[in-house]
Amino acid sequence: MLSRIKHRGPDDTGEIHRGRVWLGHQRLSIMDVDGGAQPMSDPGGTTHLVANGEIYNHRNIREDLGHELFETGSDSEAALHALIVDGPAGLARLRGMFTLAFMTDDGQFLVARDAVGVKPLYWARKPEVTLFASELRAFDEADRPLVESFPPGCCWSPESGLVRFADAVPAVLRPAHRLPSDTEPGVWGDDLLKSVRETIVAAVENRMMSDVGIGVFLSGGLDSAIVAAVAAEYALRHRQPLPTFAIGAPGSSDLAAARVVADHLGTEHHEIVMTAEDAMTALPKAVRAIEHFDPSLVRSAVPNLLLAEYASKRVHAVLTGEGADELFAGYDYYHQEPFTNPDALQAELVRTVNELHHLNLQRCDRTTMAFGMEARVPFLDRDVIGLALSIPPEHKMIGPGREAKKLLRDAFDGWLPEEILRRGKEQFGDGSGAKDVLEQAVLAAPEVAEAEGVELRSKEEAAFYAIWRSELNGIRPGSTLGLFATT
């Protein structure tokens, strides 16, 4: 199983076996490159942890628990000691994106996944053993019919079973916060703009931590441009370079817009011009990598994969703009019936945030980790989610003089060129040109005679499903993939 996901952590392999528990880890070295090997153990060598992801508040945890406990500079060690000190309650200390497995020599075992599900985790429960892995491909073909997505915000132990320890969206935010009757939709004060801006800035800066190179995927859209602008300010203060990476077909709108942003910010900008041949060659690799066949995901995965392959030779981690559309109502369909009702819009925003781990986050993680590079998503920071979904949905609705995501645009007024700040929404697969260059692949694709109970909505989806099925034989689509929920 471990060898099948070596691409996720090409820098080192580690494993440990105690009693009935086996832990294995493929390491991508980002924090404490020399001292952060995994599995990680306490000084007495009786407690052990493997983790995937980043604990962004690890320095605060060190202060709280005492520096004398720590032997490395790895952020993962903060998770180890939080669990040693507090048991499963220690998961509440962790701020970041992570999956982890923790065990002790006396037989305790715990596995957990972050509340949003930024980092992937799957499990297969058999009578004699429970298996966990970061990707579907890790499981033996005989076990694949049993594989399920491990739910975000949950932990599991043999004694307690599955227990929820955190929610992506706190219950108090799920109903809409009503706009006061004397307040006009789309009219907000400086305090709200400042709060939005400062919360996003803090989230981006927290994700700049790295002992190796870090960059930004810059599509030229509003969301990634904001991330790049904040990251560029941080990099300037810390006297470090900021590489930005953009991809598109010749003459694509994404390449042109990203170039404007990069020139404005003064980043070390890299462009990849994607030909039709490049896209066709990358298509089966993209379907295999994302372990999904949804057309909108595949269209965006093709340029994402090519971009990741290029960027991974230069940095070990990148920041992306994932999640902003779901928090600030950026997609066109949010502004159509039945979501023109504030309560319905809030419910849909909450639903799509909760489903991201099946969809865009799956694509984001797999395309980057296919080349041993980590993607970080500042818009899905816990504080950003909490603030964004506490804002009355009327402020996110379009209307006369109010384009989509106007609140987000106004919060970063002056940070970006006006043409970027007011640029309309374009799906990554469309703006990059991937949708057009993939059409010939769809037209040439063979018909799928049988789809094992899956309703294929188009010939395009059938073509991608054929590739998916050949790569992941035995997986039940409905049990592991958030299908039919994309927009």
- Distant-in-sequence, close-in-space partners of 349: CB < 8 Å, separation ≥ 6: 326, 327, 329, 334, 389, 393, 396
Strand 109-113 with 154-157, pairing: antiparallel
Q: Is the dihedral of CA 5, 8, 14, 20 positive or negative?
A: negative
Backbone angles phi and psi of 378, in degrees to 5: -60, -30
Concatenating the DSSP letter of every residue in 269-318 gives: EEEEEPPHHHHHHHHHHHHHHHT---HHHHHHHHHHHHHHHHHTTT-SEE
Task: Please report which helix (H) or strand (E) contains residue 74, including its range.
Answer: none
Strand partners, 109: 103
Q: 420: annotated binding-site residue? A: no
Residue 376 DSSP symbol: E
Which class for 13: exposed (0-12), middle (13-18), buried (19 or more C-beta within 10 A)? middle
Which class for 306: exposed (0-12), middle (13-18), buried (19 or more C-beta within 10 A)? buried
**SS3 state at 254:** helix
Q: 5: annotated binding-site residue? A: no
Residue type, 341: N
Q: Measured at the alpha carbon of residue 103, what is the angle toward residues 97 and 104, in degrees to the nearest 5?
A: 145
> Count of alpha carbons within 13 Å of 293, Cβ hemisphere only?
26
- Distant-in-sequence, close-in-space partners of 441: CB < 8 Å, separation ≥ 6: 279, 280, 283, 463
Give the separation between CA 410 and CA 328, rounded to whole angstroms. Answer: 12
E-strand spans in 134-236?
Answer: 147-149, 154-157, 161-164, 214-217
CB 155 within 8 A of CB 163: yes
Which class for 157: exposed (0-12), middle (13-18), buried (19 or more C-beta within 10 A)? middle
Strand partners, 113: 99
Q: Which residues are annotated as a binding site for ATP?
A: 247
Q: Which residues are annotated as a binding site for L-glutamine?
A: 75
Q: Which residues are annotated as a binding site?
A: 75, 247
